[in-house]
Chains A and B, each alone.
Chain A
Amino acid sequence: MLKHQIIPNGKEVKFIFFSGKGGVGKSTMSCATAVWLAKAGYKTLLVTTDPAPNLSDIFGQAIGHQVTPIRNMENLHAIEIDPDMASEEYRERIVGPLRDLLDEKNLEIIKEQLNSPCVEEVAAFDKFIEFMDDPGYDVVVFDTAPTGHTIRLLELPSGWTDTLNQSAATCIGPGASLQSAKAKYEKAIDYLQDRERTSFVFVLKPENSSILETKRSAEELSKLGIATSFLIVNGLLPEEACTDDFFRKKKAGEERIVARIETEFPDLEKIYYPLQDSEVSGTELLNAVGRFVYEDKKDETGIKSSPSRSAVFFNQKSYRKLNCHDLLKPTNGQRFIFFTGKGGVGKSTIASTTSLYMADQGYKTLIVTTDPASHLHDIFGQAINHEPTKINGVGNLYAARIDQRQALEEYKERILESVKDQSEETKRSVEEDLNSPCAEEMAAFEKFMSYFDTNGYDITVFDTAPTGHTLRLLELPTDWKGFIDLGTLTKQTSEATQNKYADVIEKMRNRDKSSFVFVMYPEYTPMIEAWRASEDLKKQVGIETAMVAVNYILPKDAGNNAFFGKRRKQQEKYLGEIEERFNKPMIFAHLLDHEPKGLAALRLMGQDMCGVN
C-alpha cells in the first residue's frame, strides 16, 4: 500500500509533488490525494499552478488566487496560482527598482527579455516556496513539480558571487537578482532532497512516450539528489469494457507497455489506475480514487460496465469543412507546415501521414523532426539521418532528423573556427562556455532555421518538439529582432544574420507560405494546452493557427458498450468545445488498435484523415 508514502510523520510538514506531462491526470490524482489526506484527518492544502485550472469543476466551487476552504470538507483548503500572474509579479520585482533609472521604452525591452521560459519556471517555483515555508498545514499537495532544469537554475544562487567573479556562462537565473532569497532557495532544495519531508510522484499514461518522458525527468531529478517516491500509471483500459477485437487488441498492446514499465522502473512502487468512463469530480469520487491508490480498495473505482449497446455516435461529417489538400497545398511554390502540440498527442504520426498524403498528391515533400525522442524511423521503417533521407517506395518523400547532439557539434565547430586566431586560453574558455544550455538551444535553432532556405521542396513539414521549447525557439527571432532594431543589444549582430531571422519570421507569419496545425485529442487538458499555445503564438509572434487536427477519435465500429458510449459522449463534448474555441478547419484521426507503421498503414490513415471522399 502506498499510503506510507504520503502520510505526514507528525513532526514535519509533508510536501507532495505530482509530476508528469499535461493530460496524464495530475489534477485528478493530486485532488484525490488531498481529499484522501483531509478525510484521514490531516490538515491539507492543495496548490495548483495549472495555467487553466479546473479545480472549480472538480470541486464544484470557485477557488482562485487565494487560499479557499473546500465546502463540506473538513481540513481541506486549496489555492489556484495563475502562472502568468506569478511571472508578471516576478518580472515586476526585478524591473521595479529600475523605474527610477530608465524610461518606459528601455524598461519594456528589459521586461521582454525576461519573458523567457526560464523566468516562468522560476517564478512558478518561487510561488511554491512561499507554501513550503511554515505553511501551517500538516501536508501540502502540489499538482505540478519543478523540473530538473528549474532546480539547476535555483542552485545558482549558492554560487552567485562566483558566477559574477568568474563570469561563467549562465542562462538568466533568479539568484543574481534576489540575493536575499538565497537562503530561501537553499532551504527549499534541502526539503526537496529530504525523502522524509517530500514525496515526488510521477503520473504517466500507459504509452511509450510517457515512459520515456518519465524516465528522463526522474533521472534528471535523481542527479540533483531528488528521489522519485512512486508512480501512478493512469488510464488503463478496464478489462470488462474491452468487449470486441479492436479493444482486446488494444488491451494486449497495453499489457506489453505495462510489462515495459515494470522492467524500466524495477525499484519503484507503482499503482495502476483504470480509465474512467467520465471525468472524476466531487469529493466522494475523489476519495474513492484516493482509496484505490493509497489503500488498494479496488472495488470502489466507480467502473460499472454493463456491456449493453450504446446508441451514442459522433458524427464527424458535420465538422469537416475542407480536406488536407486544399488547406495545405503550396500556393506560392512552397509551403511550410508545422505540427505542434504536447507530447503524446500523436504529432509524429499525423505529420508523417500528412507528408505521405501530400507526396502522393505529387508534391516533393520533406518532413523534418526536431523531437529528440522522434520515432520517424519506426514509422517509416528505415534510418532517418541528420541530412534529408529519401523514403523508400515513395517518389517524392524525404525525411530528416535534427540531431541535437550533432547540431551542437556543428555549432561548436563554427564558433571555434571564428576564434581560431585568438590565444589558446581564449579558445579553451570559449570551448568551456559552449557547454551551456544556451549553446544547445542556439545550435538546435540554427539547424531548424537552415531548412527555411529555398530548399528544393514544395512542402516542408515540421514535426516540432513536443514542449514549450519549440515556442521559445520560434519566439526568439522576434525578440532578437526587437533588440536589434532598437539598437540595445550589446552583441554585434551582422546584417546578414539579421536578415536571415527577418526572413524566417516573415515566412512563418505569411499564411500563404506557412501553416500551423495544432494537434490534440478531445479531452480537457490537451485542448486547453493547445489553445494556450496557439494564443501565445498569436500574441507573441503574430502567427495565426491554420487548422486543428483532432486525434484518437473513438472509431464507430468498436467499443459499442456503455463504457465507451460515455467516453464518446465526452469526446463529443470536447470536439464541440474545440470547434468553438479555435474556430478553424478541423481534420480528424481515429484511434487505432496498433501504431501505424509502414507506407500502407500510413496511406490508409491518410485516406481516413485527409481524403476528399
Chain B
Amino acid sequence: MSNQELTIYEGAMCCATGICGPEPDRKLIEFNETLKRLTSDYNGNLKIMRASLVFNSLLFFANPEIARLVKENGPAILPITTVNGSIVARQKYMTYAEIKNVLEKETLSA
C-alpha cells in the first residue's frame, strides 16, 4: 500500500469529538470512530489531518480549491474531505465505507 493522505477541512467548533457540547454530536462521534478504524487499517500508511478553520487557517490557503470554495460559499460548505489533495466530499462527514472506497480506487489507479 502506498502512502496516502486524507484531510478533513472543518469549520469552527469547540472540540473535535462533539462530546463537549450540550448534546453529543452523533455525526462527529461516528466520524471519530471512522478515523480510528482507518488509522488501524492502514497502519501508518495513511496520513490523516483534521484542519480547523480557526486554528489551522494556513492549511486552507495551502489548497487554492478549498480557499475558493470557502470564500464563495462561506463556512457552510464545510466539512470538505480531500484524498491526496483532491476533493472527494463537501458539506458532510463521509462514512467509513465511502472513504475506504475512495482510498481503494486511488490505490488501484496509482
Q: B-contacting residues of A (Cβ < 8 Å)?
A: 94, 97-98, 100-103, 106, 109-110, 113-114, 164-172, 176-177, 415, 418-419, 422-423, 425-426, 429-430, 433-434, 436, 438-439, 441-442, 446, 480, 487-494, 497, 501
Beyond A170-B15, A433-B17, whether A165 also contacts B48 by CB under 8 A is: yes
Query: B58 on the interface (CB 8 Å rule)?
Result: yes
Q: Is the CB of A177 within 8 A of B54?
A: yes
For residue A516, give the distance in angstroms from its CB to the closest CB of chain B.
24
A160, B52: Cα distance in complex, Å: 12
Instruction: Give Cα A497 to B24, complex, Å.
Output: 12
> Chain B 1-32, CB within 8 Å of chain A: the 1/0 string?
00000000011111111111111111111101
Q: A residues within 8 A CB of B102?
A: none
A169 adjacent to B15 (CB under 8 Å): yes
For A494, the chain B residues whose CB sits under 8 A away are 23
Over the window 29-57 of chain B, the binary record of Cβ atoms lying under 8 Å from chain A Cβ atoms (1 yes, 0 no) is: 11011011101000000011111111111
Q: 8 Å CB contacts to A: which residues of B58-94?
A: 58, 60-61, 67, 70-71, 74-76, 78-79
Whether B20 pairs with A492 at a CB distance below 8 angstroms is no
Report yes or no: B55 in contact with A169, Cβ–Cβ below 8 A. Answer: no
Residues of A within 8 Å of B74, CB to CB, are 102-103, 106
Residue from the list B25, B71, B76, B78 in contact with A491, Cβ < 8 A: B25
Let me know if A167 and B54 touch, CB within 8 A. Answer: no
- A177-B56 in contact given A419-B29, A490-B13 (Cβ < 8 Å): yes
Show 8 A/B contacts (Cβ-Cβ < 8 Å), sorted by A. A109-B12, A425-B33, A433-B19, A433-B32, A438-B14, A488-B11, A493-B23, A497-B23
How many Å from the CB of A242 to the closest CB on chain B? 51
Contact of B28 among A106, A176, A490, A497 (CB under 8 A): A490
Contact B76 A425 (CB under 8 A): no
Q: A97-B61, A433-B19 are known contacts. Are A488 and B24 too (CB-CB below 8 A)? A: no
Say how far A107's CB is from chain B's closest CB, in angstroms: 10
A169 CA / B17 CA spacing, docked (Å): 6
Asked if B22 and A114 sit within 8 Å, CB to CB, the answer is no
Q: How far is the CA of A415 from the CA of B70 in the complex (A)?
A: 33
CA distance A101 to B65 in the complex (A): 12
Nearest A-chain residue to B21, judged by Cβ: A491
Nearest-Cβ distance from residue B23 to partner chain A, whole angstroms: 6
Q: Knowing that A97-B61, A113-B12 touch, tell me 19 more A-B residue pairs with CB under 8 angstroms.
A: A101-B70, A102-B75, A164-B56, A165-B49, A167-B16, A168-B17, A176-B52, A176-B56, A415-B24, A419-B26, A422-B29, A422-B30, A429-B33, A429-B36, A433-B17, A433-B32, A480-B22, A494-B23, A497-B22
A490 touches B36 (CB 8 A): no
- Residue in A425, A429, A480, A501 whose Cβ sees the most chain B Cβ within 10 Å: A429
Bound-state CA distance A231–B56 (Å) is: 42
Q: Check A170/B16 contact, CB under 8 A, given A419-B24, A430-B29, A492-B27.
A: yes
Residues of A within 8 A of B25 (CB): 490-492
A103-B70 Cα distance, complex, nearest whole Å: 10
- Residues on A with C-beta less than 8 A from B67 are 100-101
CA distance A439 to B36 in the complex (A): 21
B32 touches A177 (CB 8 A): no
Picked from B15, B32, B37, the residue with its CB within 8 Å of the CB of A171 is B15
Q: Are A101 and B33 in contact (CB under 8 A)?
A: no
Main secondary structure, interface of B, reads: mixed
A158 CB to nearest chain B CB (Å)? 16
Listed from nearest, the 3 A-B pairs whose CB atoms lie closest are: A438-B20, A176-B55, A177-B55
Q: Which of B12, B27, B76 has the most CB of A within 10 A?
A: B12
| Shortest Cβ distance from residue B74 to the other chain A in the assembled complex, whole angstroms | 6
B54 touches A436 (CB 8 A): no
**Interface residues contributed by chain B, number (CB under 8 Å):** 49
Q: When the two chains form their complex, are residues A442 and B57 in contact, meaning their CB atoms are under 8 A apart? A: no
A245 and B15 CA atoms in complex are apart in Å by 57
Partner of B20, one of A103, A164, A436: A436
Q: Please, which residues of chain B bring their CB within 8 A of the CB of A489?
A: 13, 21
B-side contacts of A438, CB under 8 Å: 14-15, 19-20
A585 vs B84: C-alpha distance when bound (angstroms): 65
Q: Which residue of chain B has the shortest Cβ distance to A419 in the bound complex?
A: B29
CA gap between A489 and B10 in the complex, in Å: 11
A438 to B33 CA separation, bound complex (whole angstroms): 20
Interchain CB contact under 8 A, A98 and B18: no
CB <8 Å contact, A436 and B15: yes
8 Å CB contact of A430 from B19, B55, B57, B78: B19
Give every chain B residue within 8 A of A429 (Cβ-Cβ): 17, 29, 32-33, 36
Please tell me if the beta carbons of B12 and A488 are within 8 angstroms of each other in the complex. yes
Contact status of A110 and B24, CB under 8 A, knowing A169-B17, A426-B33, A491-B18: no
Q: Which residues of B contact A441 (CB under 8 A)?
A: 20
Min CB distance B51 to A, Å, is 8
Residue of B nearest to A438 (CB): B20
In the complex, the answer to whether A493 meets B56 with C-beta atoms within 8 Å is no
**Most chain B CB inside 10 Å of its own CB: which residue of A100, A422, A433:** A433
Interface contact B54-A114, CB-CB below 8 Å: yes
Please give me the residue from chain A that is nearest to B79 by CB atom. A490
- Which residues in A have their C-beta under 8 angstroms from that of B61? 97, 100-101
A101 near B23 with CB under 8 A, answer: no
Known contacts A101-B70, A165-B49, A425-B36, A172 near B55 by CB under 8 Å: yes
Contact B33 A423 (CB under 8 A): yes
A110 to B54, CA, bound (A): 7
Q: Closest B residue to A449 by CB, please name it.
A: B22
Given A164-B50, A493-B23: A101 and B17 interface contact (C-beta under 8 Å): no
Are A442 and B24 within 8 A (Cβ)?
no
Interface contact B19-A434, CB-CB below 8 Å? yes
B residues less than 8 Å from A170 (CB atoms): 15-16
Q: Which residues of A contact B21 (CB under 8 A)?
A: 442, 480, 489, 491, 493
Q: What is the CB-to-nearest-CB distance from B27 to chain A, in angstroms, rounded to a whole number?
A: 7
Question: Do B49 and A415 have beta carbons less than 8 Å apart?
Answer: no
Rounded to whole angstroms, the CA-CA distance of A434 and B19 in the bound complex is 7
Residues from chain B with Cβ under 8 Å of A166 in the complex: 39
Q: Which residues of B contact A439 (CB under 8 A)?
A: 19-20
- A414 CB, min distance to chain B CBs, angstroms: 9
Provide the residues of chain A in CB contact with B54, threshold 8 Å: 94, 98, 110, 113-114, 172, 177
Please pick, from B26, B57, B60, the residue contacting A492 in the complex, using a CB distance under 8 A: B26
**B53 contacts which chain A residues (CB < 8 A)?**
98, 110
